[in-house]
Amino acid sequence: MAYASVCFPMNVPVMTTCPSPSWSLASRRRRFLPAVRCVSSVPKVADEADLFDLKQYMAEKARRVDAALDRALPLRPPERLFAAMRYSLLSPGKRVRPVLTLAACELVGGDESAAMPVACAAEMIHVMSLIHDDLPCIDNDDVRRGRPANHVAFGEGFAVLAGDALHCFAYEHAAAATRAPPDRVLRAVAELGRATGAEGLLAGQIMDIECEGKEVGLEVLEGIHLHKTAKLMEAAAACGVIMGGGREEEVERLRRYGRVLGLLCQVVDDIMDVTKTTEELGKTAGKDSACGKTTYPKLLGLEAAGRVAEELVGKAEEELQGFDRNRARPLRHLARYIANLARYN
């Protein structure tokens, strides 16, 4: 069987109808990369010089992000609104987006403290999207991160407003709490806004809704997730380099890395949706199929979807070539870790 390979254009016009998009992704065929193994999941790898404890790295970074989020958003009046915001924001999560921002900042020699407010802003935006995604009018999911979704715990009205408030506060926090040159802060805020709005995450959500229950091809599916998932990943990575004072070339390389990582997250999420239980996922398993959504396993089959994930890992690693090897380790292993989520509990 031949598999369609994926590519990643820098500027993809937004699709307004489904399944006849006004844009297309160039397709090409190539041999898939061999399977990669994550040192955080398996005890030994061929390259002993590249050993890296990603699990410890992620846990420590997530701990610091959690502390920063808690400080940024204390409980205050109106208490029920802030309680709803904190309920979802502080729920246990992998914190991939803020860790990506911090790792990208450190990749170019920046200090974590310079990027932390922007990293927190990226997580606030992501959590906003989860709150709204779970609403009965969109995906109607009652479970998120292993506990009742925000609208189940607080009601639909509070969930909508909590998501809106997190979205607004993300930009306020990034602008007011960041101790960095104003031009860097301004650019980072613009990056996050562009990634979230009508040509970014929200566009992807609209595309996803319009295509629900319809037969779509690989190009349309990739277009949905380039917007819905990858745009914010791009911004998170690019913002890290910006806050770290990186060169323009480095910003664009990490933007491409984030784009690949975003698609990788979606491919893996699709695989896990059909191979993991609700308890393992922390959200309702099989939800995409129940909603009539096209997924990578549905379109390509599980084996081919796994091969796409492997190829994306290779593409992510390509974008890190030329950077300091030690500084690039977290990002290199992050891609491998995400791919392996579909294989290991």
Going along the chain from its start, the domains and CATH numbers come out as 52-340 (1.10.600.10)
Query: What local confidence, expressed as pLDDT, does residue 50 receive?
Result: 61
The DSSP 8-state label assigned to residue 5 in this structure reads B
Q: How confident is the model at residue 233 (pLDDT cuts 50, 70, 90)?
A: very high
Q: How confident is the model at residue 78 (pLDDT cuts 50, 70, 90)?
A: very high
* Mean pLDDT on 328-334: 96
Q: How confident is the model at residue 343 (pLDDT cuts 50, 70, 90)?
A: low
For residue 137, give Cα distances in angstroms to 79, 182, 293: 26, 39, 15
What's the mean pLDDT when you consider all of the chain?
Answer: 86
Q: Name the H helices within 91-217.
A: 96-107, 112-133, 150-154, 156-177, 182-196, 201-210
Distance CA 129, CA 166 (A): 10
Distance CA 321, CA 46 (A): 19
* Mean pLDDT on 246-251: 98
Q: How confident is the model at residue 19 (pLDDT cuts 50, 70, 90)?
A: very low
The DSSP 8-state label assigned to residue 48 in this structure reads G
Coil vs helix vs strand at 25: coil
End-to-end CA distance of the chain: 29
Question: Which has the minimum average pLDDT: 102-116, 133-147, 159-173, 247-261?
Answer: 133-147
Residue 86 parent element (H or E) = helix 79-89
Query: What local confidence, expressed as pLDDT, does residue 67 receive?
Result: 98
Q: How confident is the model at residue 18 (pLDDT cuts 50, 70, 90)?
A: low
Bridge partners, residue 143, by sequence = 148
How large a percentage of the chain has pLDDT more than 70? 84
Task: Output the pTM of the full model.
Answer: 0.84
* Mean pLDDT on 178-185: 94
pLDDT at residue 264 is higher than 50: yes
Q: Please give the structure tokens belonging to residue 216.
A: 């779509």
Query: What local confidence, expressed as pLDDT, does residue 237 receive?
Result: 99
* Mean pLDDT on 299-324: 95
Distance CA 196, CA 56 (A): 30
pLDDT at residue 37 is higher than 80: no
Query: What local confidence, expressed as pLDDT, does residue 276 receive?
Result: 83
Q: Please give the structure tokens belonging to residue 243.
A: 């806050």
Query: What local confidence, expressed as pLDDT, does residue 274 receive?
Result: 87
Query: What local confidence, expressed as pLDDT, does residue 158 receive?
Result: 98
